[in-house]
Amino acid sequence: MPHDPVAIARDLLMCPSVTPAEGGALAFLEGLLEPAGFVVERPVFSEAGTPDVENLFAGIGAGNRHLVFAGHADVVPPGRLDLWTHGPFAGDIADGRLYGRGAVDMKGGVAAFAAAALDFVEETGGDFGGRISLLITGDEEGPSINGTVKLLDWAAQRGERFSHAIVGEPTNPAALGDMVKVGRRGSLSGFIKLRGVQGHVAYPHLADNPLRVAPAVIAALMDPPFDAGTERFQPSNLEVTSVETGNRATNVVPAEVEIAFNIRFNDLWTVEALHQEIAARVGRAVQSAPLRTGRPAPLAYELAFEPTNAVAFLTHDATLIDGLSDAVEAVTGRRPELSTTGGTSDARFIKNYCPVVEFGLVGETMHKIDENVVLDDLHRLKAIYRAFLDRYFAG
Ligand SMILES: [Zn+2]
């Protein structure tokens, strides 16, 4: 009997696994995978100041080719329950859709690859000349500290060597088959504090208003563009996200301004090179900013960057990219666009172990009220993963 991705997705959706709660989701997967011969483990990872998180690693088979399906069983909170037409954990099916928090992000994706892997293993009698693993974290939507990073390290220490990975996050903007993600931009945040001298607005010569310098700094951060993009990447883009003085009094010159920013950057940049470029832009802007009343010297400032574990990466592996594109085309009749758009994902950690791409459901309703997945999409996504498995272990 083939495994039904709709039934699996529905059972998963009925587990209230809002990060960091396991909610029964991993226990359900264990009960599904273990009878089929997968060796299932559920390591719990801890770190001071963060909640403990349960994860799941399931593996079957042996051989040189080791394919990992990666994903998460945790979901974002449902928000106001009264706004949902179908309960976020009710598992309602209506109008050809399955409703619930996590339907597309990404319990539906997990259900599709679990069903595909189970069918494949059963039909080959477990003798397919390689190894398949499912790497499921419970901490993707949260701080991402006790999840994929530690699970990868844990698996590596146990001798697991991955050849290729597919992350089942929702990657398609409008229709199944639209888009495979072959990389991700990096993300870097920072803060600039411009330090002036507080004072009475009626005595500006006794004060030093940092807001006179802020516009030049903001402009220099965002222009000119950092680059023009590449074949696979959008141009790197910096957005100033906040300008704060903490001052609400109109008769006071504020002592300082804090400017916050984030840049999403492509693989033309390392974090180190961005630090240097941004520091140079800020330095020049402060030097050339208009003089403040009675203050000929450049304004004092501080520039600080938040640590980042999100660097830009691009996967080139043809086995993975062509194989998955062929599978998508075989099932949907469409050749997917290869893209690096969107936010960060756990693929940024997996890429340190093996080539990784992402392909899953249509993301339209993710994180929204009445999140839902078209039932036929679940069946077709399972068929795509299955078509990939057939090609992958045949070749
Ligand atoms: Zn997700």
Q: How far apart are CA 227 and CA 169, in angstroms?
A: 28
Centre of ligand 1 from the C-alpha of residue 135, in Å: 14
55: tokens are: 């994860």
Task: Give the structural domain span for 258.
Answer: 186-305
The pLDDT value given to residue 80: 95
Shared-domain flag, residues 245 and 104: no
Other C-beta atoms lying within 10 Å of the C-beta of residue 274:
21
* 260 and 366 part of one domain: no
Ligand 1 geometric centre to CA of 141 (Å):
7
Active site (catalytic) residues? 74, 140
> Closest by alpha carbon to 386, among 116, 109, 1, 126?
116
Which residue, 263, 280, 305, sits at the end of a domain? Answer: 305
196 and 214 fall within a common domain: yes
Residues in the chain: 395
Same domain (yes/no): 180, 224: no
**Ligand 1 centre and the CA of 32: distance in Å?**
21
> How many domains in the chain?
2
Residue by residue, pLDDT tens for the chain (395 residues) are: 899 999 999 999 999 999 999 999 999 999 999 999 999 999 999 999 999 999 999 999 999 999 999 999 999 999 999 999 999 999 999 999 999 999 999 999 999 999 999 999 999 998 899 999 999 999 998 888 899 999 999 999 999 999 999 999 999 999 999 999 999 999 999 999 999 999 999 999 899 999 999 999 999 999 999 999 999 999 999 999 999 999 999 999 999 999 999 999 999 999 999 999 999 999 999 998 877 766 768 899 999 999 998 999 999 999 999 999 999 999 999 999 999 999 888 999 999 999 999 999 999 999 999 999 999 999 999 999 999 999 999 96
We report the CATH number of the domain holding residue 204 as 3.30.70.360
pLDDT at position 28? 98
DSSP annotation of 172 reads B
Question: Which of 256, 286, 305 finishes a domain?
Answer: 305
Claim to verify: residue 212 and residue 179 sit in the same structural domain: no
Are residue 120 and residue 241 in the same domain, yes or no? no
* Claim to verify: residue 241 and residue 368 sit in the same structural domain: no
User: Bridge-partner residues for 239, per DSSP?
Assistant: 262
> Do 164 and 101 share a domain, yes or no?
yes
CB 372 within 8 A of CB 97: yes
Calculate how far, in angstroms, residue 147's C-alpha sits from the geometric centre of ligand 1: 13
| pLDDT at 97 (0 to 100) | 98
DSSP string, 214-260: HHHHHHHHHSS-S----SSSPPPEEEEEEEE-----TTEE-SEEEEE
Contact 214/301 with Cβ under 8 angstroms? no
Residues 114 and 257 in one domain: no
Contacts of 173 (CB under 8 A, 6+ apart): 179, 362, 363, 364
pLDDT confidence of residue 352: 96
Distance 314 CA to ligand 1 centre (A): 19
Last residue of a domain, one of 276, 305, 334: 305
- The pTM for the full model equals 0.90
**Residue 157 belongs to domain with CATH number:** 3.40.630.10
Alpha-helix runs per DSSP H in 223-346: 271-288, 318-332
Same-domain status, 28 and 47: yes
Predicted pLDDT of residue 294: 60
Encoding tokens for residue 156?
């590596």
Considering the domain architecture, whether residues 151 and 195 belong to the same structural domain is answered as no
Task: Give the span between the Cα atoms of 150 and 147, in whole angstroms.
Answer: 6
pLDDT of residue 297: 80
The confidence score (pLDDT) of residue 237 equals 97
Tell me, yes or no, whether 177 and 198 share the same domain. Answer: no
